[in-house]
Amino acid sequence: MTYCLALKLDEGLICLSDTRTNAGVDNISKYKKMFTWNVPGERVICMMTAGNLAVTQAVMSLLQENIDNPKEGIDTLYTAPSMFRVAEIVADAMRVVMGQYGAGLAAAGESAASTIIVAGQRVGGRQRLFLVYSAGNFIEAGDDTPFFQIGENKYGKPILDRVIEPATPLATGIVAALLSMDSTLRSNLSVGMPLDLAVMEADTFQFDQQRRIDENDAGYRNLSNAWSEAIRASFDDMVKFSV
C-alpha cells in the first residue's frame, strides 16, 4: 500500500509521498514513488504513483525513455506545450503499459489497478494538478477540492478537508500535508517512512523544496509530537460540552 497527496494552492504546489511497499506483514520494501523533472525557468513536473508497482514503474520508465530517445512527432514531458498535454502523455503511457500487462496480470489473479498524480507548471501557463487512472482517463483538481490523494487516503483526509482551500498559505499547506501523512503513518502499517517532499512555488518553474524526510528528522518528529499533544489537549477541553 502507499499514501501520496498533492495540494494545489494559489501560492504553489505541494507533493508528499511515503516509500513503503508491502505484499504482507513479512514482505516489506521501500520504493520511491515520487518522480520529478525540471527545466529551470521553463517547466517543473512532479508525479507520484500508487497501485501495482510493476505497472507504475513501467509507465515512469516509458516516460523517461521517450525523453532520453526522442522520436519525431512524439511529444515528451520536456516538449509538451502545456500541462494538459503532459497529463495526456502520462495517460497514453498508462494505456500502453496496461495493454501490455493488464490481461496477463488479470489472468494471474493480480490487480493491475494504478493511479498517478501529475503536478506542475509550464511557462506561459498556470499550475495544474491531475489524477490519471488505470484506463488512461484523468481528472483535474479545482477550487472546490484543491488536492488529490492516492493509496491509503482515509486517515489523512479529515485535516485536508478542514484546512485546505486555494488561498491557504504555502507554509500552512506543507504543515497540513505532513500532518495528513502523520495521521496515516500512525493508523496504517502499510504506509511508512522515509517520506519524499516536493514544493513548487507558483510561477518560479523550479522546486522550492525537494527533500527526503526520515525517521530521525527532528523537525518532523517535533511536528508529530506537537500535533499529538494538541489533539489530546483539545479532546480534554471537549468534556465541558454536554451532548
DSSP string of the chain? Answer: --EEEEEEETTEEEEEE--EEESSTT-EEE---EEEEEETTTEEEEEEEEE-HHHHHHHHHHHHHHHHS--TT---TTT-SSHHHHHHHHHHHHHHHHHHHHHHHHHTT----EEEEEEEEETTS--EEEEE-TTS-EEE--SSS-EEEEES-TTTHHHHHHH--TTS-HHHHHHHHHHHHHHHHHH-TTS-S-EEEEEEETTT-S-SEEEEE-TT-HHHHHHHHHHHHHHHHHHHHGGGS--
Residue showing cell 483535474: 140
pLDDT band of residue 23 (cuts 50, 70, 90) is very low
pLDDT band of residue 28 (cuts 50, 70, 90) is low
Where are the chain's structural domains? Answer: 3-235
pLDDT band of residue 24 (cuts 50, 70, 90) is low
pLDDT band of residue 27 (cuts 50, 70, 90) is low
CB 152 within 8 Å of CB 184: yes
Residue showing cell 500535508: 177
pLDDT tens for 158-175 read 999 999 999 999 999 999
Mean pLDDT for 98-123 is 95
Angstrom CA distances, 117 to 91, 216, 241, stand at: 11, 27, 42
Q: Which CATH code of 3.50.50.60, 3.40.50.1100, 3.30.565.10, 3.60.20.10 fits the domain covering 3-235?
A: 3.60.20.10
Say what the pLDDT of residue 22 is.
Answer: 60
Rounded distance, CA 122 to CA 115, Å?
Answer: 22
pTM, two decimals, is 0.94
pLDDT tens for 168-195 read 999 999 999 999 999 999 988 778 889 9
Residue showing cell 520536456: 78
